[in-house]
């Protein structure tokens, strides 16, 4: 249901005059199109129609029978008439019949009656149009609704030629442009289709539609459409984002475009050039953003403005103008805890350079510009997104300047890399702060519409930041840094997807695709490589009674001492709250343990009682041998001894993925992890990340489950 508040505050304000009802979640719109509405549904639909009309808006009812209609069936035609007559009796005076995204083939019965698929569609559409009394607005969406779907081409398409010749002239044909999502629309590109259809088309514009990619959102301005188009169209329809709150700028700028077109038409005959009659997307964006700021910071609760998320809002010219015009436990309590050194802040205090985000605050204009720039348009990124991708690409391509294998690199080159890295990390921190502000903002309606996208990008930026920090430590050998190179927009996910594909394990989609937490949290996190100044704190009552370092030495010590470059630390506003450890080559690591670590532990914990007598034996078992058949495919290991317990489990996933990036970057082809069979939560956690069970109870003397995944 669309409330009067929505209709008045959005469509009327910006000159939008038509609302088309065609939601995918109304099963009686497409899948169950033959069924009439129940009395309760009639009441809702009538209310919607009358509400639109009371606001001076044309209500268009759309029906999509094309998936299973038998065009030659008198029964199907009767059911189609019955359905549309029911809607007409509710007060609707404008209709659309849609045959998009269906199979071109005809059933045997239709093939015996109609000479082509186009003839079948046109015949039924014309009959329905006459049955409804030839309403002033009647739309027809062809199966070939854009240039890329026409066979063999727009001008030579037999399907479009039949539509143009046989469809009644007052029926309007829908067209999306050269593509389903057209980057540009010009007068020239419409001339060909207008000639074939023998009428000006009505543009169904998918520029801001995001229903085809759950990770993309389009907040940029209406762009790439010349205002002069208005004189060559029956109308223009904007198919917006599924999320209502995301459509403020698209609809606002669409209204600006429409008004500029009207002014341009007024002065065209006088040949008067007026700067205000030129539509400028950037200028329209600034105006819309300024107006949106007030609404963004209003204390509006989710539910006060409700909008059917898959409806389309339209700008439609008057026909008379014609051609002229979740809280969940992830892991058991950590066996060892980390604490940052005094210079970096400790738990219980604010960490330098980061602030605690809590409560409801205001989104700043710079943050909203960042938000829009990161979620711009299908074929174009905003300035902030361009900068993010360009810097990440450059830093990755030039990481040899700070690599451990590089000698005698000119200092100015190193400074250039580190300066650009600093700017990249700063932008990642701005994204984290943006996420924090959206979660803590006063407008909860905006939060619940935009949160999944801001949260997804926050996680991706967190991971990219950790990767660049790791490169800056000079730990990479450059074995496998390139990730997947491709032209922009080939991969799904928008900016998040493109950043993902620049990382070494970017092609592993299961590491990046997961739902947002049930309970949004504004906590700020940071993932960074382990530093030698980090230290292990007291690990619990048992260890304090015997020796304060026992648990840390047993669980974390070998990795931190022998391969610290594969240890990543998780921090929140209060300090360090978790870590994940990795081993690049388990074979060589085991040899080094026996040669250096175990002797050091024997010196540190000399035999003096049963507890210490068994300690060294347990440490040796921890570093026990794994079968060659395992290590051949999975040479690396990860250890989850200190993963945190978080409301947002995606942070743990991001922490683990940061480690996998480092292992992959230095040549690892596979990684495994050993988990106790009773630890169901950790087993589930790894399984969702693409780990599969390899061994059970065969790896070492303990009964453990070994899970592995290829990188």
> Which residues have a catalytic role annotated?
101
Q: Are strands 312-315 and 235-238 parallel, antiparallel or unpaired?
A: antiparallel
CA distance 682 to 332: 9
| SS3 call for 595 | helix
| SS3 call for 21 | strand
- The distance from CA 42 to its chain's CA centroid, rounded to whole angstroms, is 36
Longest Cα pair distance anywhere in the chain, in angstroms?
103
Are 36 and 82 in contact by the 8 Å Cβ rule? The answer is yes
Given phi > 0 = left and psi -120 to 50 = alpha, else beta, which region is 609? left
DSSP H stretches of helix in 90-237: 108-113, 117-131, 158-166, 187-197
List for the chain the helix, strand, coil content (%; round to 5).
Answer: 45, 10, 40
Task: Report in angstroms the alpha-carbon separations of 54 from 7, 47, 455, 626.
Answer: 10, 10, 39, 75
Q: Looking at the DSSP assignment, which residues form a beta bridge with residue 670?
A: 710
Tokens at 697, concatenated? 């109870």
Task: Report in angstroms the alpha-carbon separations of 655 from 47, 193, 470.
Answer: 50, 52, 13
CA distance 589 to 672: 14
Q: Are strands 575-583 and 636-639 parallel, antiparallel or unpaired?
A: antiparallel
| SS3 call for 675 | strand
- DSSP code of 672? E
In the sheet that 526-529 helps form, which strands lie side by side, from edge to edge?
526-529, 567-572, 575-583, 636-639, 670-675, 705-710, 692-696
| SS3 call for 578 | strand
For helices 365-374 and 281-296, give the axis angle rounded to 10 degrees: 120
- The distance from CA 439 to its chain's CA centroid, rounded to whole angstroms, is 17
Q: Are strands 137-141 and 172-175 parallel, antiparallel or unpaired?
A: parallel
Pick from 436, 447, 459: nearest CA to 521:
436
Pick from 505, 456, 534: nearest CA to 656:
505
CA distance 332 to 604: 29
Name residues whose C-beta falls within 8 Å of residue 391's C-beta, 6 or more positions apart in sequence: 420, 423, 424, 427
CA distance 137 to 145: 19
Pick from 214, 327, 338: nearest CA to 655:
338
CA distance 286 to 281: 9
CA distance 186 to 204: 14
- DSSP code of 703? -
Which residue, chain included where needed, has tokens 């199966």? 143
Tokens at 154, concatenated? 């727009």
- The distance from CA 514 to its chain's CA centroid, rounded to whole angstroms, is 10
DSSP H stretches of helix in 64-116: 74-89, 108-113
Which residue, chain included where needed, has tokens 């491709």? 486
CA distance 446 to 44: 26
| E strands, 327-448, in order | 338-339
CA distance 470 to 530: 9
């Amino acid at each position: 249901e669309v409330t009067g508040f929505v209709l008045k505050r959005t469509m009327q304000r910006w000159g939008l005059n038509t609302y088309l009802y065609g939601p995918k979640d109304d099963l009686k719109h497409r899948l169950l199109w033959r069924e009439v509405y129940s009395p309760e549904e009639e009441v809702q639909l009538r209310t919607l129609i009358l509400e639109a009309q009371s606001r001076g808006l044309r209500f268009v009812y759309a029906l999509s029978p094309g998936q299973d209609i038998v065009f030659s069936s008198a029964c199907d035609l009767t059911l189609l008439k019955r359905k549309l007559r029911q809607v007409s009796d509710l007060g609707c005076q404008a209709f659309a019949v849609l045959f998009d995204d269906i199979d071109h083939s005809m059933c045997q019965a239709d093939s015996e009656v109609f000479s082509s698929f186009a003839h079948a569609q046109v015949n039924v559409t014309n009959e329905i149009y006459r049955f409804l009394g030839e309403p002033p607005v009647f739309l027809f969406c062809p199966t070939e609704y854009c240039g890329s779907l026409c066979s063999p081409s727009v001008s030579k398409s037999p399907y479009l030629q039949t539509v143009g010749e046989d469809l009644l002239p007052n029926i309007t044909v829908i067209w999306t442009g050269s593509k389903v999502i057209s980057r540009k629309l010009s007068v020239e590109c419409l001339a060909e289709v207008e000639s074939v259809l023998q009428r000006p088309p009505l543009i169904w514009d998918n520029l801001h539609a995001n229903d085809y990619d759950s990770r993309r959102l389009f907040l940029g301005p209406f762009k790439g459409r010349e205002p002069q188009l208005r004189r060559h169209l029956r109308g223009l329809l904007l198919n917006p984002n599924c999320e209502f709150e995301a459509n403020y700028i698209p609809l606002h700028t669409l209204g600006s475009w429409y008004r500029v077109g009207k002014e341009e038409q007024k002065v065209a005959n006088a040949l008067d050039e007026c700067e205000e009659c030129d539509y400028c997307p950037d200028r329209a964006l600034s105006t819309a953003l300024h107006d949106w700021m007030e609404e963004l910071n209003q204390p509006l609760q989710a539910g006060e403005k409700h909008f059917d998320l898959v409806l389309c809002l339209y700008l439609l010219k008057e026909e008379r103008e014609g051609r002229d015009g979740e809280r969940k436990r992830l892991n058991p309590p950590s066996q060892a805890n980390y604490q940052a050194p005094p210079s970096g802040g400790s738990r219980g205090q604010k960490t330098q350079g980061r602030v605690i985000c809590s409560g409801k605050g205001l989104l700043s204009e710079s943050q909203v510009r960042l938000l829009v720039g990161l979620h711009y348009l299908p074929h174009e990124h905003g300035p902030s997104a361009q900068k993010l991708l360009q810097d990440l690409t450059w830093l990755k391509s030039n990481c040899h300047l700070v690599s451990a294998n590089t000698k005698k690199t000119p200092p100015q080159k190193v400074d250039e890399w580190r300066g650009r890295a600093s700017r990249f990390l700063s932008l990642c921190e701005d994204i984290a702060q943006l996420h924090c502000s959206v979660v803590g903002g006063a407008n909860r309606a905006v939060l619940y519409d935009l949160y999944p996208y801001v949260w997804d990008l926050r996680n991706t930026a967190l991971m990219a930041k950790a990767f660049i920090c790791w490169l800056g430590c000079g730990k990479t050998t450059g074995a496998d840094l390139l990730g997947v190179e491709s032209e922009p927009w080939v991969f799904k996910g928008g900016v998040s997807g493109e950043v993902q594909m620049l990382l070494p394990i970017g092609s592993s989609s299961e590491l990046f695709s997961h739902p947002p937490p049930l309970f949004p949290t504004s906590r700020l996190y940071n993932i960074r490589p382990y530093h030698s100044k980090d230290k292990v704190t007291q690990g619990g009552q048992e260890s304090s009674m015997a020796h304060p370092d026992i648990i840390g030495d047993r669980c974390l010590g070998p990795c931190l001492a022998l391969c610290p470059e594969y240890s990543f630390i998780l921090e929140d506003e209060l300090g360090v709250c978790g870590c994940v450890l990795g081993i690049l080559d388990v074979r060589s690591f085991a040899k080094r343990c026996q040669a250096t670590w175990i002797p050091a532990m024997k010196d540190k914990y000399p035999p003096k009682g049963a507890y210490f007598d068994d300690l060294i034996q347990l440490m040796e078992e921890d570093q026990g041998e794994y079968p060659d058949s395992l290590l051949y495919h999975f040479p690396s290991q990860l250890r989850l001894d200190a993963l945190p317990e978080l409301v947002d489990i995606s942070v743990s996933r991001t922490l683990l993925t940061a480690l996998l990036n480092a292992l992959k970057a230095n040549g690892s082809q596979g990684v495994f992890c050993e988990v106790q069979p009773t630890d169901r939560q950790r087993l589930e956690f790894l399984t969702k990340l693409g780990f599969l069970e390899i061994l059970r109870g065969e790896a070492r003397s303990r009964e453990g489950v070994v899970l592995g995944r290829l990188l």
